[in-house]
Structures are given as structure tokens and as C-alpha cells.
Amino acid sequence: MLSEPDIEHAVYWACQQEVMAPKPGNVNCFSDGHNMAVDDFLRSAKAIAPIMARPGLSVGDRILLAIKATREVVDCNTNLGIVLLMAPLCTAIEHVDKFEQFPSALEKVLNSLTQEDAKACYEAIRLAEAGGMGKSDVQDISEEPTVTLFEAMEMAKDRDQIALQYVSNFNTLWRVSLPALTSALNSGESVEWATAFAYLMLLSDAPDSLILRKNSRQLAIAVTDKAKQLVFEMNKNSKLDTYLNQLTAWDNELKQNAINPGTTADLVAATLLLYAFQRGFSADRISVP
């Protein structure tokens, strides 16, 4: 079983590596963007890590307390999606003795979500002042929910990739990004470039839901098509960092046009956390400064 310090370190490491990776369109080690900087994300990571690791918290309490802690250190929305994804993961990891038990433990956590979890989650979303949330005819985020958090996510799954993870036991991570991240790392890539590759794999798998809401379906599909092209080329090459110039140029283009594949970045952060948990049960643990 992972200890509280193990979980805290894993959360911080995952958030740190996500923001440092050269992911086009997001704040990264080469370029700030969207009125946010790398340091905003690192301070946010330090704020949420001990809360995510605190034993015995419900998913809703983890979400709300983490967003409250974030707002104490930054005045922008750096991590709502990350928090929404990591809260059930950190709740589930408390109940497993080996990583093979994790998917079933996660499913149990998700299926046990309550109306109180939904209320805390809705409050956290309002506190984060997240942009591009859109409006819903039922259970809108501006109202008090009358359903469980799982039921609320079920209603949103067709328009939000994070909601989809809640009702699919995080299938996209198990199917797409964790295998991509692991394969790249096992091939000798650095964590930053393996993360960028996992990000592009996710972006090529489905249009980013933040772009869909804030920009347009046409733009979201165009970004996905570009990611597919890059993944196709990368799979023929032995070293990912040879694509630095292409990724940097695309990064600049996306930011100049206020296009942010932010949900995909959140999914990558959660993927890194899964990887850290998996390694935490092995003899070769991840070292986190």
C-alpha cells in the first residue's frame, strides 16, 4: 500500500512533469500562455498535493479543498480539470495493496459517488471560475445538484472528456495515454518527451472538449487531425526531440489564436499520476524532489 507521502509525491511529480513537457497549446517549459505561467502551475501543484494525499477524504471533499488551496496561491484556473481527475484516483489508491487491484478499486469509488460529492464538486467549479463551461438544461453548474456526482458526470459525458472518464472507469487513460507514456519511457525517451507523446496520442484520439466548448468543433477537429499527422510521423522516428521545432511552431500558432487543448493536458497529468502509482508499487520507484 502506498503511504501518504508516496501519494503526495506522486501528485506533485505528475503535475510538475505535465507542465514541463513541450505540449503544443499549453503552458510549458518553453512558453507561457493563456495569461498563465509555469510557476502558477507549480505553486498550484504544491498546494493540492497534500490534500490529494490526505487519508479518508471523500472525492468531493478532495476536489473542493484542493481548489480552495489553489485559489490561495494563484488567481487563475490552473488545475480544475487535474483536480477533478486526480481526486477519485487518490481516493482509490488508498484501498489497494498492489497496482493490479487499482482498476476495480477505482470503479468502486466512482460507483459510490454521492449527492454530497456533487455539491462539493459544483462549489469547487464555481470557485475555480473556469471558463468555457457552457450551459446545461439540467443540473447546470450554477445550480445546486440534485443527483450524485456520478449521475452528473453521466449527463455531461458526451460534451466533456473528464466526465467521460468518471463513467468509463478512466478508460481513455488505460487504453491510450498510459500505454503511450510507458512505451515511450521504455524506449529511452525522457519523461518530458514521453509526456508530450502521450499528449499527442490523446489529442489524436478525440477532439479536445475545451476547444469544442470555447472555440468550435471545426477547430477542435483540425487540431486532432494535426496531432494524428504528428503521431504518424513520430512513430516512424527513433527520437521524439527531433520534432522540437515543429511542436514549438505549432505551440506558437495555437497560443496566438487562443486555442488551448486544456482538457487533454489534464488527462495527461492524470496519466502521469497513474504511472507514478504503478511505479510506486515496484522496486524502481520514481524519485520526486
- Burial of residue 239 (CB within 10 Å: 0-12, 13-18, 19+) is exposed
> Does pLDDT of 139 surpass 90?
no
pLDDT of 31 reads 75
Quick one: average pLDDT of 259-278? Answer: 97
| pLDDT score at 110 | 98
Beta-bridge partners for 31: 28
- Average pLDDT of the residues in 143-165: 95
Q: What is the mean pLDDT of the chain?
A: 92
Does 153 reside within a domain?
yes
Q: What share of the chain in percent tops pLDDT 70?
A: 92
Position 236 scores a pLDDT of 84
Residues 285 and 7: beta-carbon distance below 8 Å: no
Residues spanned by the domain of 242: 4-280
User: Number of folded domains in the chain?
Assistant: 1
Averaged pLDDT, 245-267: 95
> What's the confidence (pLDDT) of residue 159?
93
pLDDT beyond 50 at 176:
yes
Instruction: Assess whether pLDDT exceeds 70 at residue 187.
Output: yes
User: Is 288 among the domain residues?
Assistant: no
Report whether pLDDT(275) > 60: yes
Residue 33 has pLDDT above 80, yes or no: no
pLDDT of residue 133: 47
Query: Looking at the domain assignment, is residue 285 inside a domain?
Result: no
Q: Is residue 177 part of a domain?
A: yes
Is the pLDDT score of 82 beyond 50?
yes
- Give percent above pLDDT 90 in the chain: 84
Residue 196 lies in a domain: yes
More confident residue, 172 or 33: 172
181, pLDDT greater than 50: yes
Rounded to the nearest angstrom, the gap between the alpha carbon of residue 7 and the centroid of all alpha carbons in its chain is 16
pLDDT digits (tens, 9 = 90+) for 189-237: 999 999 999 999 999 999 999 999 999 999 999 999 999 999 999 988 7
pLDDT score for 138: 54
Per-residue model confidence (pLDDT) at position 104: 98
Output the pLDDT for position 28: 80
Residue 134 lies in a domain: yes
Q: Rounded CA gap, 287 and 289, in Å?
A: 7
Q: Confirm whether 286 is domain-assigned.
A: no
> Which CATH number belongs to the domain containing residue 138 in this structure?
1.10.4200.10
> Is residue 242, in this structure, part of any structural domain at all?
yes
Q: Residue range 172-191: average pLDDT?
A: 96
